[in-house]
Amino acid sequence: MSIGQELIIFDWFRIHFTENPGMAFGFEFGGVWGKIALTTFRIIFSIVGFYYLYKYSKKAKVHTGMLICAGLVLAGAVGNLFDSLFYGLFFTDSLFEVAKVVPMGEGYESFLQGRVVDMIYLPIIDFCCWPDWKIIDLTGYAGARVQFFQPIFNVADTSISIGILSFLFFQNRWFPENK
């Protein structure tokens, strides 16, 4: 697979290699110092998360589902943390070609500055084009391509999302006294 190409498994499921320099959905802030702050936050979150997950797993009244959700979020955070810590040290820049493994320190970036690799792309609804109605033409959308769910993400992002959504969905069952 080369840069700019993607492996199409189904029309709605594709493997598309990209490197995310920042947070979810490619948001970034503050350049080098912003990346250091983000990575430092990820490290602190992971350490505190492991501490609390261990602490609460020892309690008898903690629901297993809550521990699983917390574990999913923590696993996803640590997965993205490892990419941002080490990916730039061990891989070449993938601007014009797919990244290649190199000896430690010969990569494209220094410690704490790596990008997170995203590869799952789900253009569930993908069609062209908006109808050529005059009212839509005034908005500038006439003839535009319509895609639902454009973000490219990875397994760690999926783990975080499933953990958080499951926690939100099941929290009333796990904490009935808080209704």
| SS3 category, 17 | strand
Q: How far apart are CA 130 and CA 31, in angstroms?
A: 37
132 catalytic per annotation: no
Q: How far is CA 104 from the centre of its chain?
A: 25
List of E strands, 21-149: 116-121, 125-128, 145-148
Q: Which residue has the tokens 């009244």?
A: 61
118 catalytic per annotation: yes
Q: How far apart are CA 11 and CA 139, in angstroms?
A: 29
- Among candidate residues 11, 83, 93, 118, the one labeled active-site is 118
Residues involved in catalysis? 118, 157
